[in-house]
Structure 1
């Protein structure tokens, strides 16, 4: 896009030469959002704790799985992935999840409780726009659990929980809009080293209407990348 846009240098980030543009693109929104979300739960996770990533097979979730399961991390979590379909199940498990829950065919809250021996999840990062994903997270979090809101849902949605319930259970709810410049730099370096690799489908700009329809119907695994005509 440099041939179309003049930008403030303070908001630019060097992309490693070995990182193709179609692999760099997903980090500039989805990747940095998940890096920011994961940094917000650092103080809520210890080794062996349970982290749920809801929307694990999408553009944000599949990058979050790779960041969270990176062997270089100081803390290593038991990651439960939530999404739907066999393709996203395989992708999620391949990228580091220890278990997968299909929200269309399974009772999400019941399954999380089973996988955590009745304790509930220590942290949930909720990525989908679906309000049900937020409702479910509030039910499967453990006492003193933390929910990170990374998905953009409709503006009139309100959490179905009272202040008294929040106080009694000691829950923490945080919002994440995006990460930091330093996190962005680290992500791109890791991507250049192939430590984190986005799953992408690359399309010509002429396919944009078709892609919007696929997004509308949830027919996306990983991230779509659209090439601007030169």
Structure 2
């Protein structure tokens, strides 16, 4: 049996998205059918629409989601119908060399559903990040479903599926921010703001927000930044050093992903500090640094893939922190919208006036 539902689809490169009727099959072995309750509008969805990730159009967009398991296929033991879950795009295999080393967050064989969702004419859809959650129902690998406390509203919980987790994890998991540390975050959109909030939760005492948009700096201050730097008006590296006793920050996070912002992150860190890249660059970008500076400064330069998270560990933990009033996921929700409003949400996102628009189904 299959299901026909409404969904947001990018039919061709750079064209406005449309709401189409799609066909979602019942789950096969290892798969789960999920009724989506809420899904955040992430920059990655816009990258898909613009052809900036692959050219496998048409795309079924949406990936930052939470909902209820409707049905499971043969052999599924991780989740059951009725479970409230956050969807993830790093379903670990458990058997690759990273998993066998006890580092499943680096899993080299993450997987998605085997069956294809399609348009009504049979055209197969490519789901964004293997999820495709701007839809009333979606089909995923069962390992992409992480059960969390159902007391959390889907509008908040779903944000852990991508942006908030990426930022929180970049600071806490990849950067290893700890008590008394100084942190500088470059780029204060959803990911950067989550890094700021995560750094404060982890015990950082100096948290510096850097951006070119005063609105974003104001939001960053509300989310825990102790200082703000307007990159249009100040020398970022010099100002971060000034705010950290002349040394530089213990951890810097580049949440933009451009050569110029990563250079700022590299030189704004303390000599033995850690620079983390979590912003996603485009394939054409290159970085040039004097090799002697890489050698002589010590410390670490790291990339953060999905915040180096382990969904089964991190999603329930952050959900619990939210329910305890210690991590304000609601503050990331700028507006709630309908499926038909996703194209407008992309325009609002470009303007920089939201942290997250969240589709409620």
Normalization by structure 1: what TM-score?
0.86
Partner of 2:253: 125
- 1:157-205 Cα offsets, whole Å, 9 max, x none, are 2222133220111141111112112012211222233322232121222
Which of 61, 65, 74 is residue 192 of structure 2 equivalent to?
61
Which of 319, 323, 329 is residue 192 of structure 1 equivalent to?
323
Partners of 1:25 and 1:81 in 2: how far apart?
25
1:155-174 matches, cutoff 5 A: 155-174=283-302
Partners of 2:360 and 2:178 in 1: how far apart?
41
- 8 Å CA contact 1:32–1:180 kept in 2: the answer is no
**SS of alignment partner, residue 143 of structure 1:** strand
1:22-61 matches, cutoff 5 A: 22-37=155-170, 38-42=172-176, 45=177, 47-56=179-188, 58-61=189-192
**Shift of the alpha carbon at 1:60?**
1.3
**SS of alignment partner, residue 337 of structure 2:** strand
Partners of 2:165 and 2:158 in 1: how far apart?
11
Q: Please identify, of 148-157 and 205-214, the stretch whose mean Cα deviation from structure 2 is larger.
A: 205-214
Partners of 1:35 and 1:180 in 2: how far apart?
12
- 8 Å CA contact 1:26–1:59 kept in 2: the answer is no
1:1-230 matches, cutoff 5 A: 2=35, 4-37=137-170, 38-42=172-176, 45=177, 47-56=179-188, 58-70=189-201, 73=202, 75-178=203-306, 179-181=309-311, 182-198=313-329, 199-200=332-333, 201-217=335-351, 219-228=352-361
- 8 Å CA contact 2:183–2:206 kept in 1: the answer is yes
Structure 1 residues 216 and 93, CA gap change in structure 2 (3 angstroms): closer
Partners of 1:124 and 1:222 in 2: how far apart?
21
Q: Larger strand proportion, structure 1 or 2?
A: 2
- 1:33-92 Cα offsets, whole Å, 9 max, x none, are 1233221222xx554331111223x1112222222212xx4x434111112334322321
Partner of 2:88: none
- 8 Å CA contact 1:51–1:123 kept in 2: the answer is yes
Q: Please identify, of 85-94 and 179-188, the stretch whose mean Cα deviation from structure 2 is larger.
A: 85-94
The number of aligned residues is 221
Structure 1 residues 76 and 113, CA gap change in structure 2 (3 angstroms): closer
Partner of 2:31: none
Partners of 1:224 and 1:65 in 2: how far apart?
20
Q: Larger helix proportion, structure 1 or 2?
A: 1
Unmatched tracts of structure 2, length 5 or more: 1-33, 36-135
Normalization by structure 2: what TM-score?
0.57
Unmatched tracts of structure 1, length 5 or more: none
Q: Which has the higher contact order (CA 8 A, sep 6+)?
A: 1
Partners of 2:317 and 2:179 in 1: how far apart?
22
CA RMSD of aligned residues (A): 2.1
Partners of 1:193 and 1:17 in 2: how far apart?
14
Structure 1 residues 192 and 159, CA gap change in structure 2 (3 angstroms): same
Partners of 2:294 and 2:258 in 1: how far apart?
22
Structure 1 residues 46 and 186, CA gap change in structure 2 (3 angstroms): closer
- 8 Å CA contact 2:165–2:194 kept in 1: the answer is no
